[in-house]
Every structure is written in structure tokens, then in C-alpha cells.
Amino acid sequence: MPYLPRALAAALLMTGTAGAADAADLRQYCPDRPGLDTPPCTVDAGHVSVEMSGLDWTEQKDPDSKTDTLLAGDLLVRLGLTDSLEAKIGWTPYGHVRERDRATGLVTRSSGTGDVSLTLQQNLSHPDGQGLSIALAPYATLPTGGKAIGAGDWGAGLLVPISYSLTDKIQLAATPEIDAAVDGDGDGRHLAYGSVVGISYALTKKIGSTLEFQAIRDDDPDGHTTQALASLSFAYQPQDGLQFDVGAVKGLNGDSPDIELYVGASRRF
């Protein structure tokens, strides 16, 4: 998978040549994870944020089958290009899907890598994510993954991350989006749209919590669905530029996965 190694090499090269800034000169670390929302903040110019899920497990049940999906090493690399513009490269190196037919008990298993996502995020107001912060984030997905967790075709879309700090401890956030989502059969695209809304609360100076809700309408030709999700996540930053996280997502209707659990970490360089 050639895309990621080249991107990482370029990111590390730019970081090395940009010169090291004092920690006091950097903005407060603002990772893209955990949770459903996309924060409007951007990485400081010349710096890289590497954000990875250690394990991510999702279970989905329907009348005919039960599906468990396990992702390992789900990776996002963010590179600060200017004070308000960053590039993102995402990739899942390993995914395993186990599906059990409820009627026959037959179990099928498949494994493989995921697709590559490319995003440019331009912050329009307060790139540190404080006050009223707004960004535009067009993205594209490349069909580099296998059949297990790959979509099968290219996709694209636009996110509009928004956040507003009510107090030093409380922040509201939303991420409306519109997507050219890949059809369920892996051939072609269709309209999908929706938004995340959430509220974050700083429990201490190092521990934060976030409660979120998401609704996504998906007009797949094989059947229109509306996913509704609720998410609770916690983040711990023991030092500047380092974060550990844990979270859970609960499906609120029959079109949504039943449960998702994950842990991960993020590091700024």
C-alpha cells in the first residue's frame, strides 16, 4: 500500500526541516479523536499529529445475522501546512469481520486492509479551537482496501466542523456533512448527509469528557437508511502533545450498529 509510507515520509521530512518550536509557542493539543465529531482546530504549521486506535470493535445484529468487526491500528496522520490549514491521511491497516447466520449457524470470516482517506481542512476562525471556531474539510476516499472492510469505489464529501466555547470547561460542537457515499454493492455513489452535535466538559485539567449524537441519512439505491448514534468518550492528556482515549458508541435505531467500543492514543511531533 504505497500511499501511506510516502505520506509519512513527507510529513516527517517537513517536521524535521521546520525547526523545533518551544512547547509554550504551540497551541493546546487538539486531536481529531475520540468521538464522532471532527474538531475545527488545526495542527501547528510544520508539526504532525499521529492518532491511532489500538482496538476498535463493532457489533451489529439484525434478524438474519450477527456481525462483529474488529479494527486494529486505525491511523490518522495530520500535517500542519500553515497556521490554519492541515492535510490529513487516514488508513486502517487491519480489519477482521466475523458474520454468523442466525438460521443456520454458519460463520464466515474475512480480513484485510481499509481504504485511504485524504482531507484538507481549512480553518476559517480560531484555528486553536477556542471561541467560535469554524472549518471546511473536503475529503476523498481511495479504494485501496480489500473486500473485508474496503468500500470498493472512490467516495468524497465535505465536512463543516464548528465549535463554540461556552466557558473554560464547556464546549459545544457540531459537524454537518454531505457525502458522495459509495453504494453498498461497491460500484457507484449516492447522496448521504447529516450531522454530529455534542457537548464537551473538562473534568480536570488533564481529563475531558464528550457526549455526542449523530444522525446520517443514506440514500443507497439498495435501500434508504437513517443511522442514529449516541457516543460517550473520555480523553486523558498526561502531558502536552500526548493523549490517551476510550469511548463507546450506541446505536439508537435498527439501521445503526448496536455497539462500538474503542481505545486509542494520539501524539504530536
Q: What is the pLDDT of residues 40-59, one digit of tens each?
A: 999 999 999 999 999 999 99
Q: Is the pLDDT reported for residue 212 higher than 70?
A: yes
In this prediction, residue 108 carries a pLDDT of 95
Better pLDDT: 121 or 4: 121
Q: Which of 95, 144, 137, 96 is nearest to 116 (CA)?
A: 144
Mean pLDDT of the chain: 92
Distance of CA 226 to the CA centre of its chain: 19
In this prediction, residue 196 carries a pLDDT of 98
For range 193-203, the mean pLDDT: 98
> Which CATH topology does 3-18+34-268 take?
Porin (2.40.160)
In this prediction, residue 112 carries a pLDDT of 95
Per the CB < 8 A criterion, the answer to whether 261 and 248 are in contact is yes
In this prediction, residue 117 carries a pLDDT of 98
In this prediction, residue 9 carries a pLDDT of 47
Q: What is the pLDDT of residues 149-196, one digit of tens each?
A: 999 999 999 999 999 999 999 999 999 999 999 999 999 999 999 999
In this prediction, residue 23 carries a pLDDT of 58
Q: What is the pLDDT of residues 232-246, one digit of tens each?
A: 999 999 999 999 999
Q: What residue spans define the domains of the chain?
A: 3-18+34-268
Q: Is the pLDDT reported for residue 128 higher than 50?
A: yes
Q: In this prediction, what percent of the chain has a pLDDT beyond 90?
A: 87
In this prediction, residue 20 carries a pLDDT of 45
Q: Which of 163, 158, 157, 155 is nearest to 42 (CA)?
A: 163
Q: Rounded to whole angstroms, how far apart are CA atoms 141 and 119?
A: 9
pLDDT band (50, 70, 90) for residue 1: very low
Give the side-chain half-sphere CA count within 13 A for 30: 22
For range 104-109, the mean pLDDT: 93
